[in-house]
Amino acid sequence: MQNPHITAAILIIGNEITTGRTQDVNANFLAKELDAMGIELTEIRMIPDDETAIIKCVNELRKHHTYLFTTGGIGPTHDDITSTCIAKAFGLELERNPEIEDIISNRRKGYTVVPATYRMADIPKGAELIGNPVTHIPGFRLENVYVMAGVPSIMRGMFESIRPHLKSSTPSVSVTIDSGLPESSLADGLAAIQNHHQAVQIGSYPYRIPEGWRVSVVMRAKDQGHLDMAAGEVEKMIVTLGGTPVRL
């Protein structure tokens, strides 16, 4: 298969997200990375640290996507229940991993190691480690499920370890054209262009300036030629309507 259709889902786990204490930024980071690899992100879910919810979501999402990425809940405290839930979702036991045990025991100074620290060495039997260049204690992979930390810097480090192992596909190319015009005035023309260019995905995103609302047109395609053709038509339409198209 030259250009396989690869899909992904993201599961963000943590009460801090669903109570609004924390603005999630992990999903957006992963969305951009996956997009650049030609992996289609079809769903993001965010749920509290609730065992039933985590198991249900993990099992639903891992079945319907090439990859599932989870963030959050793999630290050393009582509220870190993700590893246990992943094990249960797969019908596996948690097992102390000797490699992680060693990493914890040998970490450089500045880290406190107490018995609870070793909770982070308990991962589902058979899981493969995900390297962590930031705080060293690994995440893990079970089949198509990648289990990462919730702290953004650590999650990003873990994703760097995962990236080389993921299948990728042709990424979309995109162009953003600022119209300087209100959204409604472009609507009919955009619909017609979208209709003639099914291989191009055309989105319309309003934003506010002091004089009123204006719109940017975002166009995406797998093929540069298709994109250029449709973008040319959008620019021509904007000029016809009295606007000045600006490629951003």
Nearest distance, CB of residue 83 and a copy of itself, angstroms: 14
Binding mask 165-204 for a copy of itself (x = CB under 8 A): -------x--------xxxxxxxx-xx--xx-----xxxx
- Pair 5, 64: CB distance under 8 Å: no
Name the segment binding a copy of itself (CB under 8 A); options: 21-29, 86-94, 156-164, 228-236. 21-29
CA–CA separation, 5 and 19 (whole Å) = 35
Q: Is 126 in the site for a copy of itself (CB under 8 A)?
A: no
Nearest distance from residue 154's CB to a copy of itself, in Å?
9
What is the rounded distance in angstroms from the CA atom of residue 116 to the CA atom of residue 190?
58
Could you tell me how far CA 110 lies from the centroid of its own chain? 31
Q: Which of 1, 2, 3, 19 binds a copy of itself (CB under 8 A)?
A: 19
Strand bridging mode 145-148 / 139-142 = antiparallel
226 binds a copy of itself, rule: CB under 8 A: no
Contact between 122 and a copy of itself by CB under 8 A: the answer reads: no
Residue numbers 128-147 binding a copy of itself by CB under 8 A: 135
* 7 near a copy of itself, rule: CB under 8 A: no
Kind and range of the H or E run holding 137: none
Considering only 24, 178, 233, 235, the residue that binds a copy of itself (CB under 8 A) is 24
Strands across the sheet containing 246-247? 200-209, 212-221, 173-178, 246-247
Give yes or no for a contact between 227 and 200, defined as CB atoms under 8 angstroms apart.
yes
Decide: 217 and 176 in contact? Cβ < 8 Å: yes
**Is 219 an interacting residue with respect to a copy of itself (CB under 8 A)?**
no
**Pattern 149-168, a copy of itself, x by CB under 8 A:** --x-x---------------
